[in-house]
Each structure stands twice: as structure tokens, then as C-alpha cells.
Amino acid sequence: MPIKITKENFKSEVLESNVPVIVDFWAAWCRPCLMLTPIIEEIAKDLEGSVKVGKVNVDEEGQLANQFRISSIPTILLFKNGQVAKQVVGLMRKEDLLKSFGL
């Protein structure tokens, strides 16, 4: 299961992670976000141990959304070594998402 990312655990879960982290910025009212949820959950299960997967609810964590200039959702960021390595915006198939991230 994806980890719920908040401003309180962002540093430890994402920035200090020793494995790449996929972070899904989403909202409960966003239909494409809801359609992406099972894909994100599948990726979390498939890549468990080699990649960490988290979700940021932009309505609850506006500060994080602003920090990464999230203007459209869903936006999925790939963090490596505490830095944003890739960004994808919008609903995608699992294969395309993994390919975009080189996973």
C-alpha cells in the first residue's frame, strides 16, 4: 500500500529515502486521480522493496503541493536521492507511467 505522505513525514519518507520514491499528488474530488489510485497501488505492490510509493492529498497538504508547484492533478513525481528526477501529469496506464520513470 502507498504511504500517506504529510509535511510531517515528507523528509523522512521521501527526501531521506535510500530507494527511489514515487509520490502521487491527488485529491478526493479529482476523477482522474481516483482512476489512477488502483494503478499506484499496483505499482507499490509490484515494486515493494526497490521503490517506495506515497500519496499526497493536495487538499490536506497544500504546503507540499505549493512547494513542488503542483498546478494540475494527478501529478506524479519520482524522487531519487532527495531530488525530483521526473514529473508526470495526468492519468496514464501503468506501463506508460513506469516507462516514463525508467522503471
> Any idea which residues carry the catalytic annotation?
30, 33
Collapsing DSSP states into helix, strand and coil, what is residue 21? Answer: strand
User: Is the distance from CB of 91 to CB of 42 less than 8 angstroms?
Assistant: no
Helical residues (DSSP H) of the chain, grouped into ranges:
10, 31-46, 62-67, 94-100
User: Is the distance from CB of 44 to CB of 12 less than 8 angstroms?
Assistant: no
